[in-house]
Structure 1
Amino acid sequence: MEQPPGMEIVAGMGEALEELLRKRREATGKLPDALLVYRDGVSDSQLGTVVDREVGPMRRACAAVGGPSYAPPLTLLVVSKSHGLRMMAVTGEAGAGGERLPEVDNPLPGSVLDHTVTRPLAYEFYLASHAAIQGTSRPSKYQVLVDDRGLGPDALQLVTHWLCCTHGACSRSVRQPVPARYADQAAAAAALLAKRGAWPQRQQAGGGGGGGSGAGADQGPQYRMIPLADTLAGSHWYL
């Protein structure tokens, strides 16, 4: 999917999900019982816009594929890496003479902070899912925008950490859930291919976009779906 640079909202979210659901049904013969979505690259000022303009298309995509009765519970989290918070673990005390100071180290992978420094009216938590190779580790911030299934903080934190341990090209846990990490890598690889002329350039800023469940011409900037070659479709070509 290609859309204007700097645009935080995924204009073709509905159409993209509809395609994924159809492929899932072709491969397994059934549709998923629930949807767990991690969104990256969203600023705090755009959180409400994500709910307003992406959740609706996702629900309509489910109905378009599975019929009006197919409405799987949706859980939507926004992953943020750009923040100033650091987590440290107190491992003991050190010091000379009568002065004793706490001895600190990077937290162990899987450490969670969901109180004190979080906003009281927001459903959010910080997760240090990786071990820092050098320097101070920086946790990722997660903001839960939709939780239809009512999984609760403990279950969401646990499954989020598990998803940070499944990267196909890394034997260690990574900083963000692998689906979001793969999306970052795929976007970077696609941008590089676009610069090298892998497909025709957009004719205008609001280039043609598909219909389906995605955003239409009256719902903001449009997009276009760019198909992959048959030899690449379904593979981790961006790793």
Structure 2
Amino acid sequence: MQTMQSTSKTEPVDWACEAGKDAPLLVALSASCNVYFTSYFSTWRIMSEATASPAPLMEEALRHFLQKMRRLPDTVVIYRGGVSDSQQEVILEHEMHHPTEGILAAFDRLAEVEGQEPWRSKVSVAYIMVRRSMNIRFMTEEGDNLPSGSYIDEDVIPGLDADNPVRSDFYMISQTYVRGTARPTLYTVLYNTLNFSKMETMQLTYRLCGVYMTFAGKVSTPAPLKYVAKLLSLLSKCNYVPREPTGQLRLWRPNLFFV
């Protein structure tokens, strides 16, 4: 399955978490549920720092996708709100590869419970870290901002490892700046079994920056990441947040009620 064809069922996903000092972590996820990226499923959990993982939320989103589409997605692209370079490998091991709490383990459980073992052997996954707090800036030789859609994937990319062919990094400027200097977004692909090229991954990322429903132009990060940031912002302002959506709140999950 590839990115934007009407016959495909791609599920770009984003998750992020926020926590105050000595407070439990608020973990949220927003996942697209159709090929046009206009239908989303959003959920959250309150977890301790030791157990914080997007795996339960991923299972919940995939079950909703199965119920809605009558099948599971062939491709799952995960955009993870960025952490520092020093934390990336630890986060990757815990969130993707943990034998019981990781996302890959969640896929295994879902396939077993739902009788979808053939799907598990075919699904392709990418786990992409997204960082906006970058000091680097890029300009043309004339000193102008780079146009929307510009990307840089060599020479100045941090953390490239010749011994790790899976990892790849690229900067992208998706939005158009009228004032000031464009601030790029750094995307780090830490896990990748996709059956399409790096260029197609960048094209998917760029197109997702153009389908954020509250803005007519391009935004700085993919739409699922913007939605989950909105959800976290709303939940963090509430006097009381249940540990997970319950009761009537469960009916809100397929709607972008927080936008």
Taking structure 1 as the reference length, the TM-score comes to 0.76
Q: Bigger CA drift: 8-17 or 177-186?
A: 8-17
Contact map agreement 1:3 1:11 (CA 8 A) in 2: no
> Partner residue of 1:236?
256
Which secondary structure does the structure 1 equivalent of 2:249 belong to? coil
Q: Deviations over 1:35-56 (max 9, x none)?
A: 1000013111111112111113
Q: Bigger CA drift: 130-139 or 163-172?
A: 130-139
Contact map agreement 2:124 2:195 (CA 8 A) in 1: no
Q: CA RMSD in A?
A: 2.3
Which secondary structure does the structure 2 equivalent of 1:104 belong to? coil
User: Does residue 1:225 correspond to 2:244, yes or no?
Assistant: yes
Over the matched positions of the two proteins, sequence identity in percent amounts to 24
Determine which structure has more spread, i.e. the larger CA radius of gyration: 1
Contact map agreement 1:110 1:128 (CA 8 A) in 2: yes
Relative to total residues, which structure has the larger strand share, 1 or 2? 2
Measured after TM superposition, the shift of residue 230 of structure 1 is 4.7
* C-alpha distance 176-118 of structure 1, shift in aligned 2 (>3 A): same
User: Does residue 1:19 correspond to 2:70, yes or no?
Assistant: no
- Higher RCO (Cα < 8 Å, 6 or more apart): 1
* C-alpha distance 233-226 of structure 1, shift in aligned 2 (>3 A): closer
CA–CA distance in structure 1, aligned partners of residues 244 and 240 of structure 2? 14
Which secondary structure does the structure 1 equivalent of 2:110 belong to? helix
Contact map agreement 2:147 2:176 (CA 8 A) in 1: yes
Contact map agreement 1:62 1:70 (CA 8 A) in 2: no
User: Does residue 1:61 correspond to 2:106, yes or no?
Assistant: yes
User: Does residue 1:178 correspond to 2:223, yes or no?
Assistant: yes
User: Does residue 1:106 correspond to 2:126, yes or no?
Assistant: no
* C-alpha distance 184-61 of structure 1, shift in aligned 2 (>3 A): same
Which secondary structure does the structure 2 equivalent of 1:59 belong to? helix
* C-alpha distance 114-152 of structure 1, shift in aligned 2 (>3 A): same
CA–CA distance in structure 1, aligned partners of residues 205 and 198 of structure 2? 10
Measured after TM superposition, the shift of residue 12 of structure 1 is 3.1
Measured after TM superposition, the shift of residue 3 of structure 1 is 7.1
Q: Which runs of 5+ in 2 are unaligned?
A: 1-15, 28-48, 162-166
User: Does residue 1:126 correspond to 2:145, yes or no?
Assistant: no
